[in-house]
Amino acid sequence: AQKVTQAQTEISVVEKEDVTLDCVYETRDTTYYLFWYKQPPSGELVFLIRRNSFDEQNEISGRYSWNFQKSTSSFNFTITASQVVDSAVYFCALSFTGGFKTIFGAGTRLFVKA
Amino acid sequence: DTGVSQDPRHKITKRGQNVTFRCDPISEHNRLYWYRQTLGQGPEFLTYFQNEAQLEKSRLLSDRFSAERPKGSFSTLEIQRTEQGDSAMYLCASSLAAGEAFFGQGTRLTVV
C-alpha cells in the first residue's frame, strides 16, 4: 500500500513557539520522493521541499527544518519561532520515480495565535 | 508567466448541469495534472497529461468527467450532469518532470 498519514488534524500554538508537524508514509518502492506543501486560505498549494529516498540528510531553510528518517518512514517538519503568517494547512506527500501521481496526506491545520 | 492559472475561481451550478474548468500551466511545462480536494482532505489525483496525451486516469474519474489538453498547452476538465458529491476544489498543477509540481489556486465547485 502507498499511503501518507498525518496524524495531527489541527495544532494551535502561540507565536514564537516551535512546532513539529508529523508525517508517516508507507511504500514498498525503494525510490520515491517526499514533499511538504503549504496551503494558505487563498487555496493554492505552495511547494516547500522535495526530498528523495536516498537523501536522509536533514535540511534547514530559515525557520523551517525537515527530519527524514527511513527507519521509521517519517518525514517531519519543524517550524521554529512560529509566526501568524505560518497559519495554514500543511500537506505531506509521496511520489515515485517517473511518477505522475502524488499521494497526499489529509493535512495538518496549523493555527498560530499572536 | 506568473504560474499556473485556473478559471473560474468559483463556480456554483445546479445539479444536473454541465461545467467546464480551464487550466493554463506554466508555459514550458509538458506535464499537467488535475486533482480534486474535498473539505478536510488532501488533494486526490484525477488525471495526468504529458503534452497532449492523457496517460493516466484515476478510478475517481467517472464517465461523467472528461479532460483534454489540445496542443499540449491549456487543459479543460468537464463534468457532465453534476451531482452534489462533485462539490470540491479542483486543482491543476504542472511540472517539467517528475518532482516539483506547481499548483494553481484551484476552482471551487459548489453543486446545489
Q: What is the mean pLDDT of each run of 10 residues along chain B (112 residues)?
A: 88 98 94 93 93 89 93 94 96 81 92 98
Query: Is A95–B99 a contact, with Cβ atoms under 8 angstroms apart?
Result: yes
Residues of A with CB under 8 A from a CB of B: 4, 33, 35, 37, 42-47, 50, 91, 93, 95-107
DSSP character for B81?
A: S
CB-CB neighbors (< 8 A) of B89 in chain A: 43
Residue B48: count of CB within 10 angstroms of its CB: 22
Instruction: Please compute the mean of the pLDDT values over residues A90-112 and round it to a whole number.
Output: 89
Q: What is the pLDDT of residue B32?
A: 94
Pairwise CA distance, residues B72 & B51, whole Å: 4
What average pLDDT score do residues A55-80 get?
93
Q: How far apart are CA A13 and CA A101, in angstroms?
A: 33
Cell of A72: 521509521
Residue A27 has pLDDT above 80, yes or no: yes
What is the C-alpha R_g of chain A?
A: 14
Residue B38, H or E segment: none
B50, A100: Cβ pair inside 8 Å? Answer: yes
Find out whether A113 and A15 touch, Cβ atoms under 8 Å: yes
Q: Is residue A99's pLDDT more than 80?
A: no
pLDDT at B93: 92
Share of chain A above pLDDT 90, in %: 70
pLDDT band with cut points at 50, 70 and 90 for residue A103: very high
The whole-angstrom distance between A102's CA and the closest CA on chain B is 7
What pLDDT was estimated at residue B76? 98
Mutate to test the interface with A, among B21, B23, B26, B41 (most CBs of A within 10 A): B41
Mean pLDDT of chain A: 92
pLDDT at A98: 63
Nearest chain A Cα to B10, which residue? A43
Which residue did the predictor score with more confidence, B6 or A42? B6
